[in-house]
Structure formats: structure tokens, C-alpha cells
Structure 1
Amino acid sequence: MNWYVLYTKPKWEKKVAERLIQMGVDCYCPVITKVKEWSDRKKKVEIPLFNSYVFVNLKDTDRNSVFQIAGVVRYLFWLGKPAIVRDEEINIIKKSLAATNISDISVTSIQVGDRIKLESGAFSNQDAIVQEVSNTHYILVLESLGCVLKIKYK
């Protein structure tokens, strides 16, 4: 069985996860607790870590069963195939959210102009500036080495 990523209607993540659990589907909707402030009060609310995403653990043959649930839009695709998340990645998310020493978490995508630190490969521990992001590659500028790095992904 694989973990697939379901794309939901905006603000429907927790409702979809509840209904999937009622249907007997193994799913995971990571949530974080934030303090929301209005003009007259403050309140702790649970919000999804990933907007409009719910992870489901299904056999490939059972993938269409989730479309019975209101709020499910489609599966997230990567290079023409349904995106699959490894068990280790789901476990990392769960462990990170369970850690008590984390005060704030946010999820953002890599944007042009971002400064990043490469964590693996031949250029590990090098600082880079994101010059281009596309469906097939990243182009990074490694100022300290005076070169441009193009990373293709499958």
C-alpha cells in the first residue's frame, strides 16, 4: 500500500479526513495548533499543516473509492503519475509535529530568489540562490564557487 496525496476543496481537509476514517480508509491530515486573534478574543485552533492536502494509505486498486467523499477534488500528480509519499516521510512529519520543543511551523515552497543550503550530494553544505524553478529542474547559483548548478528531477 502507498501513501497518496489527495487534493481537497479549500478548508475541507479535516472534514475529508474525518469522513475517510469513517469509511475505513487509513488517512493522515497533519494539523498544528495556532492562536488566532480576533478583535474581541483569542482562541487556539487546529489548522492543517498543508493547505488542501490529505494523505491516504491505499492499494492502487482502491484509489477511486475516495471520490465518494464530498470535498475530495483529485489526487496530486507528479510527472504524470499520482504522487506517492514514502512511509519514512509520513513518519518524519508525525515525529516533527509530536516534538514539544517546536514553537512554530510553516510550509512554503521554494521560490526564485530564495537562499538555501544544500544538504546532500557533491555540493552539500554550500549556500545557493534559487534562480529558476520549473516542472523538470531547479537552477541554483553557487556564489562561493562561482558557478551555476542545474538540478534535474525525474
Structure 2
Amino acid sequence: MNWYVVYTKPKWEKKVAERLNEIGVVTYCPLVTKENQWSDRKKIVSVPLFNSYIFVQIEEKQRNRIFEVTGAIRYLFWLAKPAIVKDSEIEAIRNWLSVPDVYEVSLEQWKKGDKIVLESGPFVSQSAIIQEVNQNHYILILESMGCVLRVDKKEL
């Protein structure tokens, strides 16, 4: 089964995921914990990592089932087809959210264009290409995830 991205009403991510789970649809709504400050108190809350988006794992022929739930608006499309997310990408998000806030990073004397494999942190086991070596930071390209990572040298 494929993972698809579902666009939800704003602030309905957790409700939609919960209701889809109740009707038997496998969902993933990645959450991060943050501290909200009000005038009279502070509170730690779990908020979705991606505003108005959840992931659903469902068969192609069953895709319309998500519209049985109030709050699910539409699928995210890519090149005129529903966007499919790989299992490895979902697993990478889960791994990234499960690592502690503080982790050890060590860099050797690398130069622009070197290929490396990250040994710790949220992107462990991901290969990267060094795009830039600066006095204060490194810029790494994570090709498999389609993103750029900046690592400050002061954190090392």
C-alpha cells in the first residue's frame, strides 16, 4: 500500500487522523512538542509537524474513503497524480522525531564535493554531499531526501 498526503482543514490534523484510524485507515500525523506562552501560564503542547497535512496508507481503489471523515479536504497532487510518499521517507521522519534534541556530530577535514554518510542525529545513515565548507558552517545536500542541511561549526 502507498502513503498519500491528505490536506486537512487548518488545526484539524489530529482530529482527522484519529477519525480515519477509527474507520480502519492507517494514518501518520507527525507531532512535535513545543512550549506555548500565554500571559498567565506556559503549557507544553503537541502540534503537527506539517500544518494541515497528514499521511495516510491506503490502497489506490480505497482512496475515496478519507472523504467519509469531516475535515479531510483533498489529496496533495504532484504532476497531476496523487503524491506518493515512500515508506523510507515516512521512516526518516519517524527517526528524525525520535532522536534526542542533543546529539553528537563530528566532522573531519572535508572539502567541497566529498560524499559522506551521516553517523548520528536525525539523518543517520543518510548519504550527503558537501556543497560548501565555510569558516562557520558546512552545507550538506541530502539527495535521497531532497533537502539541504546546514551544520554550524560552533555546535561541533
For this structure pair, what is the TM-score category when the shorter chain's length is used for normalisation?
0.5 to 0.7
TM-score by length of 1: 0.68
Structure 1 residues 102 and 67: alpha-carbon distance in aligned structure 2, compared to 1, 3 A threshold: farther
Partner SS for 2:130: coil
Partner SS for 2:50: coil
Asked if 1:125 corresponds to 2:139, the answer is: no
Partner SS for 1:50: coil
What residue in structure 1 maps to residue 63 of structure 2? Answer: 63
- CA distance in 1 between partners of 2:96 and 2:102 (Å): 8
Q: Deviations over 1:5-43 (max 9, x none)?
A: 000000000000000111111000000010000000000
Structure 1 residues 65 and 34: alpha-carbon distance in aligned structure 2, compared to 1, 3 A threshold: same
TM-score by length of 2: 0.67
- CA distance in 2 between partners of 1:14 and 1:119 (Å): 41
- CA distance in 1 between partners of 2:30 and 2:88 (Å): 15
Q: Deviations over 1:75-128 (max 9, x none)?
A: 00011110000000000111111112359xxxxxxxxxxxxx9997xxx4224x
- Where structure 1 has 5 or more consecutive residues not aligned to the other structure, the ranges are 104-116, 128-154
What residue in structure 2 maps to residue 106 of structure 1? Answer: none
Asked if 1:26 corresponds to 2:15, the answer is: no
**Aligned residue pair count:** 111
- CA distance in 1 between partners of 2:114 and 2:48 (Å): 27
Which AA in structure 2 matches 1:126? Q
After TM superposition, the runs of 4+ consecutive aligned structure 1 residues lying more than 6 A away are: 117-120
- Give the percent of matched residue pairs that are identical in Structure 1 and Structure 2: 57
Across the aligned residues of Structure 1 and Structure 2, the Cα RMSD in angstroms comes to: 2.0
What residue in structure 2 maps to residue 48 of structure 1? Answer: 48
- CA distance in 2 between partners of 1:62 and 1:41 (Å): 45
